[in-house]
Amino acid sequence: MPSKQVNKWLLTALLLACIGGGIFAWRAFRKPVQAAAFASGNGRIEATEVSVSTKLAGRLVSVRVKEGDDVAEGQVLARMDTKVLQADLREAEAAIAQRRNEIAVAEALVAQRGSQLSLSVKELKRSRELSAGGFVPDQKVDVDLTATRTDAAQVNAARAQLQAARAAVEAATARAEMIRADLQDATLTAPTGGRVLYRLAEPGEVLAAGGQVVTLLDLSDVYMTIFLPTEQAGQVALGAEARIVLDVRPDLSIPAQVSFVSPEAQFTPKAVETRTEREKLMFRVKVRIPEALLKAHAKQVKTGLPGVAHVRLDPDAPWPPDIPPLIPDKKPGP
């Protein structure tokens, strides 16, 4: 009986030793899990949209572009009716001329009042000298003193009137400048080069202030937005190299760079409790195409095209062979 128990304990010890040795061997010889060198996500080509709107309410006279037209920065897109503004400007310019005449009148009045005050001062001086000698009564001195004070007050009033006239000219000039600015804003120009996405108003329509006329696509800011999980988003660096492969051209890839990584997660609650839930968080990443490449292929740039963006997480890792070659920097000749 004792020999059977000994054999049982020996068998158990041997089994435990085998299990321990297997675990040790697995930990010693297993290959470490390497972090992924690349991340990818699906998205669509997008571009910044710019709304061209009216500053003031009014009637739209003309729209000079159509949807799909390419426009340059500063190009005239539409014009508003300016008849009322032109009339207001003529009125403001007439007011400026009138106020300048008032300045001339006020300056002449100041000069006149100054001369009168100078004469009154001289009369007062003579009266005091004669009164001291007993040649004129003191009443004469009082009269001249009152006249001098009156003339001094009139000089101050004339100077105040002159200042008011000058201020009126400045106000009229400012109003004219505001009207000229409104006249300039009545001509709607492209704030940036791009392509007309929507034509939202037609000639003859009366628009409110801020009414949209044209929506432009800024073809210098074209990008693809993708979503990456927490583990990959944490490894993405701003400026990291990326490549975009469109469904319509799977044989070419477009060079790009990471220009934005959202600081907030998407799709899941902001507060999570478990590691599993944290791994489900997705972060928005924007991959931007270089402006020089966009200019070289401006006619081929189209928004809404679906594709896949591949982001290099490890800057030293070579691109996989299954990524197609880069699109040429310049448009091929005929």
Q: What is the pLDDT of residue 21?
A: 63
Helices (H) and strands (E) in the chain, counts: 6, 12
Q: What is the pLDDT of residue 179?
A: 94
- Residue 305's nearest CA partner among 44, 49, 43, 47 is 44
- Residue 313's nearest CA partner among 285, 334, 291 is 285
Take residue 55 and report the two structure tokens written for it. Answer: 């500053």
The 10s digit of each residue's pLDDT in 163-189 is: 998 899 999 999 999 999 999 999 999
CATH architecture observed for domain 48-81+191-213? Beta Barrel (2.40)
Q: What is the pLDDT of residue 93?
A: 92
Residue ranges of the chain with per-residue pLDDT less than 70: 1-18, 20-35, 267-280, 329-334
Q: Taking the model in full, what pTM does it have?
A: 0.66
The helix/strand/coil state of 30 is coil
Q: What is the pLDDT of residue 211?
A: 94
Burial state string for 107-144 with b = 16 or more CB within 10 A and e = fewer than 16: bebbeebbebbeebeebbeebeeebeeeebeeebbeeb
Q: What is the dihedral of CA 9, 12, 18, 19, to 10 degrees?
A: -140
The residue written with tokens 């709107």 in the block is: 53
Domain boundaries, the chain: 48-81+191-213, 83-185
| Domain 83-185 in CATH 3.60.15.10 | no
The 10s digit of each residue's pLDDT in 58-104 is: 999 999 999 999 999 999 999 999 999 999 999 999 999 998 898 88
Q: What is the pLDDT of residue 112?
A: 87
Q: 97, 165 in Cβ contact below 8 A?
A: no
Q: What is the pLDDT of residue 161?
A: 87
